């Protein structure tokens, strides 16, 4: 027990006083912008929704006393079993671990979670309770699927938040550090908490990386190129060639405007953009504006015409080519698909092939983000956006982090505020924190037409005054999903394949929404699967699909060349037709919120 015994009570008391001081500073940082009217809380909406959801769940169990008693008895019996096992273990007997299936969870990696009787009991009780709560949702008959989905999501958020790893006295690793440092770790942690609330101007801006180690254009987004055109909502970047000849068809990349394009250009070793240039592609990238109140009325059509349409015009002007290859990533891919349907309706066939990275066009199986996209939540989001004309980027960042709270929120709370340690520098998490705003009209259209009404895949989406149909998109499509994607689930991407009117090549990569896409060949990481046509049942397709080790990038490049492998002399940015506005990565991407 020595590591758990306070050795210097005086130092501990002194540091606890400093902890209180820092907590006061954090509270002041939270309260001040609310007192001044600068910040308004929007917690009531989500909290009310959670209460309503759990009320519907509890109605099922309370409506039948026998059923409720059985559920309670099951939980109490599990607790008694844990107690009995703990007593046997303390007596030196071999005891069963009812939470053995969760032993791989990294939050519980400290040896005391198994070897110390108290912490072992806590761990087992936590997992038994969490599994019981999850089972309550799964076994509740009569819930509609959306309510069940929300209940599962909220249960997961609560169990993640209430994990014993998140508290000083119930986390053996943190407790031992606190004793060893006489509480200095908590002083540092509360100081960081105050700083992070100040940095968020009244909201907690949880630091996931050492942000001082990165700068866009210096050690991120470094591929040489020029900004050659600019509209109200985007800049168009053309990258300098690395080869003497290039494919005749240029390549235009449409990234999401939720976060920034340099996820595809993190550093020279991870950059898809640099790799594509090295393979002989003439690469153009759309860099979206980080919008403010001036862009409130820029809607989906504006992004289609002043974004993708403007970029296509720019590519044609610079290269003289009337056939180009296009890539869309995530919501950038959804916009690209809708734009292709609009262009097909208008007889514009300049985009000759389309590649989609983790893109949904059918939102029936859209995953946990559906929790935030029912009618009530969208009304609340729209009311929030109405005040400033945009959705603050921190709101989307929080929503995405909540999809994997046990990995992207609580470990950093423990590391930063309880252990008092600065997070490690990590370029991907720096990018993740580099949030962007969403224009009100654009975001509202996206939420309602895609998540709420699923109009794009059902030929009901209206753009330019016309109903558009993905069946009119008959060009070749390369549709990439990732197996562990929480944002665009692989099954959802698979189902979306049937919406297009032409041949679709469906590929599923290993890992998730980011790592599955940003997977350079020389890293030799993960794998990808190819198979037959993306028809029928997704699980049946996945079972029969052929697994290939490593990156899917060369497979995609080979697919592109099958469409047209003609080459021409390398092209310089601007092509003598447009003057460079500034060096890549441009000024739009540097705007932080």
Between CA 405 and CA 398 the distance in angstroms is 9
Between CA 15 and CA 371 the distance in angstroms is 42
Tell me which residue has tokens 């709101």: 395
Closest CA to 271 of 224, 334, 319: 224
Give residue 137's Cα distance to chain centre. 25
CA distances for 512 relative to 14, 70, 105, 142, 441, angstroms: 46, 39, 18, 33, 29
Closest CA to 355 of 530, 535, 442, 481: 481
Rounded to whole angstroms, the maximal C-alpha distance in the chain is 83
Q: Which of 254, 330, 450, 497 is catalytic?
A: 330
CA distances for 370 relative to 453, 491, 503, 543, angstroms: 11, 15, 29, 27
Would you state the structure tokens that stand for residue 209, as one six-digit string?
A: 């990386």
For 90, residues 6+ apart whose C-beta sits below 8 A from its C-beta are 117
Closest CA to 552 of 307, 290, 275, 323: 275
Between CA 439 and CA 385 the distance in angstroms is 8
Q: How many CA atoms lie within 13 A of 36 on its CB side?
A: 10
CA distances for 568 relative to 236, 319, 403, 475, 564, angstroms: 22, 11, 45, 23, 12
Handedness of CA 469, 517, 349, 443 (dihedral sign): positive
Q: What is the CA radius of gyration of the chain?
A: 26
Q: The sheet that has 546-549: what strands, in order across it?
A: 546-549, 527-530, 504-509, 477-482, 351-357, 324-329, 251-254, 283-288, 234-239, 225-230, 582-583
Closest CA to 360 of 490, 241, 524, 181: 490
Helix (H, G, I), strand (E, B) or coil at 121: helix
Q: What is the dihedral of CA 125, 127, 130, 131, to 10 degrees?
A: -120
Between CA 82 and CA 104 the distance in angstroms is 19
Between CA 387 and CA 224 the distance in angstroms is 39
Between CA 249 and CA 252 the distance in angstroms is 10
Closest CA to 545 of 566, 559, 531: 531
The DSSP H or E segment spanning 491 is helix 490-496
Active site residue 330: yes
The DSSP H or E segment spanning 549 is strand 546-549
Give residue 384's Cα distance to chain centre. 21
Active site residues: 330
């Amino acid at each position: 027990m020595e590591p758990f015994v306070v050795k210097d009570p005086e130092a501990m008391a002194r540091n606890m006083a400093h902890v209180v001081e820092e907590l006061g500073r954090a509270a002041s940082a939270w309260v001040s912008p609310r007192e001044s009217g600068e910040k308004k809380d929007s917690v009531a909406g989500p909290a009310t929704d959670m209460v309503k959801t759990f009320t519907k769940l509890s109605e099922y169990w309370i409506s039948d006393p026998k059923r409720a008693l059985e559920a309670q008895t099951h939980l109490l019996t599990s607790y008694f079993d844990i107690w009995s096992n703990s007593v046997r273990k303390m007596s030196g007997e071999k005891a069963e671990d009812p939470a053995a299936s969760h032993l791989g969870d990294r939050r519980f990696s400290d040896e005391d979670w198994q070897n110390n009787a108290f912490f072992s009991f806590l761990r087992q009780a936590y997992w038994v309770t969490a599994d019981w709560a999850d089972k309550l949702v799964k076994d509740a008959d009569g819930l509609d699927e959306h309510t069940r989905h929300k209940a599962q999501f909220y249960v997961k958020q609560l169990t993640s938040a209430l994990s014993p790893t998140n508290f000083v006295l119930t986390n053996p690793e943190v407790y031992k550090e606190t004793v060893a440092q006489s509480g200095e770790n908590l002083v540092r942690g509360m100081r960081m908490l105050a700083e992070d609330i100040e940095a968020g101007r009244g909201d907690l801006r949880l630091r996931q990386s050492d942000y001082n180690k990165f700068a866009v254009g210096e050690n991120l987004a470094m591929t040489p190129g020029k900004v050659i055109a600019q509209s109200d909502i985007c800049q168009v970047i053309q990258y300098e060639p690395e080869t003497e000849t290039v494919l005749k068809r240029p390549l235009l990349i449409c990234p999401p405007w939720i976060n920034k394009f340099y996820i595809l250009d993190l550093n020279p070793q991870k950059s898809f953009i640099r790799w594509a240039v090295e393979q002989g592609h003439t690469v153009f990238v759309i860099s979206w504006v980080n919008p403010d109140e001036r862009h409130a009325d820029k809607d989906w059509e504006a992004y289609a015409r002043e974004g993708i349409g403007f970029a296509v015009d720019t590519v044609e002007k610079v290269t003289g080519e009337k056939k180009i290859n296009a890539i869309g990533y995530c919501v950038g891919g959804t916009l690209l698909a809708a734009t292709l349907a609009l262009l097909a309706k208008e007889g514009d066939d300049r985009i000759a092939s389309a590649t989609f990275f983790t893109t949904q066009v059918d939102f029936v199986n859209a995953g946990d983000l559906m929790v935030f996209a029912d009618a009530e939540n969208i009304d609340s989001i729209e009311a929030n956006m109405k005040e400033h004309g945009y959705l603050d980027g921190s709101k989307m960042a929080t929503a995405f982090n909540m999809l994997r709270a046990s990995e992207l929120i609580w470990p950093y709370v423990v590391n930063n505020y309880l252990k008092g340690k600065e997070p490690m520098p990590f370029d991907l998490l720096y990018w993740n924190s580099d949030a962007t705003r969403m224009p009100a009209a654009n975001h509202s259209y996206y939420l309602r037409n895609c998540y709420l009404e699923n109009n794009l895949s059902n030929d009901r989406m209206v753009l330019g005054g016309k109903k558009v149909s993905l069946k009119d998109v008959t060009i070749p499509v390369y549709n990439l999903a990732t197996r562990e994607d929480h944002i665009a689930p692989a099954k959802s991407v698979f189902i979306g394949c049937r919406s297009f009117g032409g041949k679709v090549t469906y590929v599923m990569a290993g890992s998730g929404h980011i790592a599955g896409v940003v997977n350079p060949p020389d890293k030799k990481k993960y794998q990808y699967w190819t198979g037959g046509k993306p028809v029928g049942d997704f699980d049946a397709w996945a079972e029969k699909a052929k697994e290939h080790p490593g990156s899917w990038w060369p497979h995609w490049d080979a697919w592109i060349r099958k469409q047209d492998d003609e080459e021409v002399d390398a092209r310089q940015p601007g092509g003598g037709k447009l003057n460079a506005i500034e060096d890549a990565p441009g000024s739009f991407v540097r705007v932080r919120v």
